[in-house]
């Protein structure tokens, strides 16, 4: 009989990627344990009642790219996954008007026409071009990144595949992709549109989770990244998960349970055990030792390679390259419990607001590109944005079970809140971030303060402290051109393997990156199985 602490595979980290990897390995008949340092699983995809009765989708708050094959393979709907529609985006403007994008194409067009007939037309064309470009690069997401310098058959085949995709693009599309890869989102959007609120709102999606402004080169690519979820039209994996992001993790957790995965909480890993140049288990902080044939880390790259493994087991240049991996967080989160809905002066609601269409979707504080660039200017020099970009949703308007009847919760993603705040993060500075958010919202919804029942402000330091992500970057590392595909997390090691035999890496810091996508966990598990053990 094998000892109870002996496994085929140990997964470090019970975030969604760790759970996904565990599930795929268990599906292949492996004995798997997932170790989570917190008392709850989910990592940065958790829902917690910080104030009783009000459920906060604490960190991540929308599902955009959760891989459909994971939903089907793990039968997540049977385990409770429901992705609810988040139908619109509402941008209040500084002049008291607003710009909205509704779920119906004709309504959106009519709305845009009100601001600029020219933009209303350009919008369709822009959407088509972006969708085509996204479609062109989408197949790459599910590829194991080939190493262009390697001569191995697998890498060459992989390169061939990428080449085939590139070759299948028309000349025009190829230029478009090349341009998108190098441009700033501001430059791109200014080629197309004249309405400030439209450009601001579009540009915002190009800076989420990066330490860049809309005028920084490379941000146009991130815009493209966002179009990928939209190609699957009918599929609509984009939305708000029932019970928030904890609902996504919860369904994956239920699936792992059904597959016989052991999940241990309050199980903080101190070190990966190495024997004969191979990872053979882990030592927990409480001193317990677990043995296994393989170990996979679903933590961020820095923890995975600089904390869990003694550096003598890894090549120097690899260590340096991980040290240089950019993981600086630039965003925070303000979660608010509300006794009623804040009323936006640009489109006020009547009654209790239950019929307010704008509150069912996102509200974006992004009146112009300049507004966001100015917010970035503050952050560049280590300051909290005085007037930050805010992406708000009202989860209780989408899933009424998120708050007590008649009450609401509000989730505000805030950028910029630099990890390296000048003078460092203190309780006072955190309050300052909260105040910047409320003061900003107040400009558009003057009754916000009287609606607040409770508020949780999360700085990048808090993301690091609570969710355990070094630097507090929501993607475990910025989605910059030099940090994606075969360069993620570092050249030569983008195929989920690491220089330490038996040690694998499958989290947001690996290809294809962050967002509640689950792809790194799934792809890593598949590679582990390919290696056989």
Partner 1 sequence: MLNLNLKTTPFHERTSALCQPQNWRKWAGYFVVGSYEHVLDREYWAIRNSAALIDVSPLIKYVIKGKDAAALLHRVTTRDVHKMKVGQVAYTGWCDEEGKMIDDGTISRLEEQTFRLTAAEPNLRWLMMNAVGMDVSITEVTDDVAALSFQGPNTRKVLNKVTEKPVDELKYFRLMTNKINGVEVTISRTGYTGDLGYEIWMNAKDALKVWDALMEAGSDYGITPVGILAMDMARVEAGLFMLDVDYTSASHAWIESQKSSPFELGLDWTVALDKPGYFVGRRALEKEKREGSAWKMVGLAVDWVGMEKLFGKVGLPPQIPGSAIRASLPVMVGNVQVGYASTSTWSPLLKTYIALAHLQKPYYEIGTDVRMEITVEHHRQHAPAKVVRLPFYEPEWKKK
Q: Which residues bind partner 1 (CB under 8 A)?
A: 68-69, 71-72, 77, 82-85, 87, 102-104, 106-107, 135, 168, 231-237, 242, 351-352, 354-355, 360, 399-401, 405-406
What is the smallest separation between the CB atom of 394 and partner 1, expressed in angstroms?
12
Q: Which is nearer to partner 1, 254 or 321 (CB)?
A: 254
Reduced 3-state DSSP string for 243-266: CCHHHHHHHHHHHHHHCCCEEECC
Nearest-CA neighbor of 479 among 514, 448, 453, 433?
514
Q: How far is CA 471 from CA 51, 428, 429, in A?
A: 27, 20, 17
What is the smallest separation between the CB atom of 146 and partner 1, expressed in angstroms?
20
What is the smallest separation between the CB atom of 243 and partner 1, expressed in angstroms?
10
521 within 8 A of 19, measured Cβ to Cβ: yes
- DSSP result, 15-84: BHHHHHHHHHHHHTT--EEEE-SSSSSBTTS-EEEEETTEEEE-S---BS---HHHHHHTTGGGGT--EE
What is the smallest separation between the CB atom of 41 and partner 1, expressed in angstroms?
22
Reduced 3-state DSSP string for 463-498: HHHHHCCCCECCCCCCCCHHHCHHHCCCCCCCCCEC
For the record, the structure tokens of 133 come out as 């470009």
Q: Which is nearer to partner 1, 168 or 323 (CB)?
A: 168
Q: Which is nearer to partner 1, 58 or 399 (CB)?
A: 399
Q: Which is nearer to partner 1, 358 or 507 (CB)?
A: 358
Residue with tokens 């390919």: 530
294 within 8 A of 274, measured Cβ to Cβ: no
What is the smallest separation between the CB atom of 76 and partner 1, expressed in angstroms?
8
Q: Which is nearer to partner 1, 69 or 191 (CB)?
A: 69
Q: Which long-range contacts (CB under 8 A, 24 or more apart) does 528-533 make?
A: 528/9, 528/21, 528/25, 528/294, 528/296, 528/496, 528/504, 529/24, 529/25, 529/28, 531/294, 531/497, 533/8, 533/9, 533/293, 533/294, 533/502
Q: Which is nearer to partner 1, 287 or 351 (CB)?
A: 351
What is the smallest separation between the CB atom of 238 and partner 1, expressed in angstroms?
11
**Rg of the chain taking only CA atoms, in angstroms:** 23
Beta strand extents in 127-208 (DSSP E only)? none
What is the smallest separation between the CB atom of 405 and partner 1, expressed in angstroms?
4
Q: Which is nearer to partner 1, 266 or 352 (CB)?
A: 352
What is the smallest separation between the CB atom of 71 and partner 1, expressed in angstroms?
5
Q: Which is nearer to partner 1, 121 or 232 (CB)?
A: 232
What is the smallest separation between the CB atom of 231 and partner 1, expressed in angstroms?
5
Report CA torsion sign: 490, 17, 60, 144.
positive
User: What is d(CA 521, CA 508) in angstroms, rounded to the nearest whole number?
Assistant: 8
Q: Which is nearer to partner 1, 114 or 135 (CB)?
A: 135
């Amino acid at each position: 009989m094998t000892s109870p602490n002996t496994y085929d595979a140990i997964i470090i980290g019970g975030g969604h990627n760790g759970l996904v990897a565990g599930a795929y390995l268990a599906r292949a008949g492996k004995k798997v344990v997932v170790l989570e340092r917190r008392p709850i699983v989910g990592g940065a995809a958790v829902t917690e009642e910080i104030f009783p009765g009000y459920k906060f989708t604490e960190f991540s708050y929308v599902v955009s790219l959760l891989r459909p094959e994971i939903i089907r393979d793990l039968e997540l709907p049977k385990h409770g996954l429901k992705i609810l529609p988040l139908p619109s985006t509402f941008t209040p403007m500084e002049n008291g008007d607003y710009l909205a994008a509704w779920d119906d194409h004709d309504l959106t067009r009519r709305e845009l026409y009100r601001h600029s007939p020219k933009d209303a037309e350009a919008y369709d064309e822009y959407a088509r071009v972006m969708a085509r470009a996204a479609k062109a690069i989408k197949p790459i997401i599910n590829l194991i990144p080939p190493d262009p310098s390697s001569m191995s058959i697998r890498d060459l085949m992989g390169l061939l595949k990428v080449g085939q995709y590139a070759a299948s693009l028309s000349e025009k599309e190829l230029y478009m992709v090349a341009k998108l890869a190098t441009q700033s989102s501001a430059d791109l959007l200014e080629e197309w549109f004249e309405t400030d609120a439209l450009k601001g709102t579009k540009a915002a999606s190009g800076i989420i989770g990066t330490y860049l402004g809309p005028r920084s080169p490379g941000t146009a690519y991130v815009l493209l990244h966002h179009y990928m979820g939209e190609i699957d039209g009918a599929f609509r994996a984009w939305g708000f998960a029932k019970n928030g992001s904890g609902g996504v993790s919860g369904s994956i957790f239920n699936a792992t349970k059904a597959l016989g995965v052991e999940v241990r909480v309050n199980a903080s890993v101190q070190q990966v055990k190495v024997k004969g140049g191979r990872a053979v288990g882990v030592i927990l902080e409480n001193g317990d030792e677990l043995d296994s044939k393989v170990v996979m880390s679903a933590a961020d790259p820095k923890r995975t390679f600089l904390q869990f493994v003694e550096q003598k087991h890894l090549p120097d240049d690899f260590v340096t390259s991980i040290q240089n991996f950019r993981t600086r967080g630039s965003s925070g989160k303000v979660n608010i419990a509300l006794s009623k809905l804040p009323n936006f002066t640009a489109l006020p609601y009547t009654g209790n607001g239950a019929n307010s269409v704008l509150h069912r979707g996102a509200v974006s504080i992004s009146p112009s590109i300049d507004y966001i660039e100015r917010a970035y200017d503050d952050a560049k020099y280590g300051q909290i944005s005085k007037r930050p970009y805010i992406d708000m949703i009202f989860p209780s308007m989408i899933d009424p079970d998120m708050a007590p009847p008649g009450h609401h919760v509000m989730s505000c993603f805030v950028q910029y809140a630099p990890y390296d705040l000048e003078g460092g993060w203190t309780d006072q500075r955190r309050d300052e971030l909260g105040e910047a958010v409320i003061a900003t919202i107040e400009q558009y919804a003057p009754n916000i303060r009287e609606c607040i029942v409770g508020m949780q402000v999360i700085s990048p330091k808090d993301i690091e402290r609570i969710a355990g992500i070094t630097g507090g970057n929501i993607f475990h590392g910025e989605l910059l051109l030099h940090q994606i595909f075969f360069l993620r997390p570092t050249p030569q090691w983008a195929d989920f393997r690491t220089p330490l035999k038996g040690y694998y890496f499958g989290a947001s810091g690996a290809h294809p990156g962050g967002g509640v996508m689950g792809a790194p966990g799934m792809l890593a598990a598949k590679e582990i199985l390919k290696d056989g053990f």
